[in-house]
Structure 1
């Protein structure tokens, strides 16, 4: 046998030995292993309020229409910035043609522009929204949880999830008649916040009344459920 075939045979034997060792290691790694999952959750009150208002108008002259929309937005932004603790930003803005009954000739242009408001002070933002309804229309109102609040609750739930995982791991170990278990891996995940339905009582029907009286809309902020799960694998040690 030449040197090259002998070297090839040696390499093949070495590879086969390594494969056998890896296979054995893999078998050992998965010996008496059990997948365990635990999940904890908590209802968290919304502490951020979001309001979207919009201006929508129509004109045969697109330039005058754009000017009219800009003027209405600028006035609303200036007034909104005077409210303490309210974050003001511009949303989407779009214009589109209005056709005649036959759908062939453009008879006018319609433009819509949004103003977005956010605050942790529900009363202040609610009153500001009611004040702005004299010149703008209500597109929507929703609530969320501030990032700082979310992190605080997630941190607390992580510890609870780990404790719940340990309890289930021990339960599985006892059910299999083991004397103990060894943690192989553990993953902690947050499912985020699952918003619950919120109510804005009669907002569309009462918009004109709010604009005339200056009364703020009646709202319910609602809650969201935060879920943290612990997924992992344990290796049950037999007596």
Structure 2
């Protein structure tokens, strides 16, 4: 007899035990249930490039400092808007005081503002970045998987994971000598979809300045997977 088939324990039924029989019936035991796991994976291209640029300066006059930062950012925004393939997003902007050596008196102000650029057109964004580095500095360059690409990948992986789970369920059923099976529950989990991969800003800036205006970039791929975890009941 299969090891997965539970054997009933002989009970001596007293008055109190008989009173609990309805509760036992309501909490029906399930036999021949097996937990299974299957997984499907694929390589997915990092098809979105993300560049974060910034400007930073200091001045004893906070109003003049703010005007300088605003002028620099407005010029960068106007230039970036001309490249239709690039999505713009302004990042954080912060101003903070600079103190003297005794940390008692404010001697000036420093301000920093960020500009975030995203695009699936790597050459266009690389060229724009090289041009903007004349007035801005680079914080980092990231690569990620675009939302549409991720959804398409997840849809394909879900089908593959279901197929793999059903194949494993059938294999387990045959190994146990069952006539068939039914799925009790099934859950899916995705893994491997990366957070943007950041390349150091100083290194990338040097590469931009020393090479051609449009440096080549290679985003690479990520192996992503979807697991199917579930329980089946083998039918005898």
TM over 0.5: yes
Unaligned runs of 5+ in 1: 1-11
Q: Displacement of 1:149 after TM fit?
A: 1.3
Q: Displacement of 1:59 after TM fit?
A: 0.5
Aligned to 1:205: 206
Moved more, 60-69 or 183-192: 183-192
Instruction: Give distance in 2, aligned partners of 1:177 and 1:196.
Output: 48
Q: Displacement of 1:84 after TM fit?
A: 2.0
Q: Displacement of 1:221 after TM fit?
A: 1.0
Aligned to 1:193: 193
Q: Displacement of 1:116 after TM fit?
A: 0.8
* Aligned residues between the structures: 220
Q: TM-score, normalised by structure 1?
A: 0.83
Instruction: Give distance in 2, aligned partners of 1:129 and 1:196.
Output: 18
Aligned to 1:230: 228
> 1:5-28, CA deviations, whole angstroms, 9 ceiling, x for partnerless residues?
xxxxxxx999845313213x2x1x
Are the counterparts in 1 of residues 143 and 197 from structure 2 also a CA contact under 8 Å?
Answer: no
> 1:62-82, CA deviations, whole angstroms, 9 ceiling, x for partnerless residues?
111111000100000000000
Instruction: Give distance in 2, aligned partners of 1:101 and 1:55.
Output: 25
> 1:165-191, CA deviations, whole angstroms, 9 ceiling, x for partnerless residues?
011112222333323222112222323
Q: Displacement of 1:93 after TM fit?
A: 0.5
Q: Greater helix percent: which structure?
A: 1
Aligned to 1:21: 25
> 1:82-115, CA deviations, whole angstroms, 9 ceiling, x for partnerless residues?
0121111110010111122222221111101000
> 1:122-155, CA deviations, whole angstroms, 9 ceiling, x for partnerless residues?
0000000000000000011111122211111111
Moved over 6 A (4+): 12-15
- The 5 A counterparts of 1:89-238 are 89-191=89-191, 193-194=193-194, 202-209=203-210, 215-238=213-236
Are the counterparts in 2 of residues 48 and 143 from structure 1 also a CA contact under 8 Å?
Answer: yes
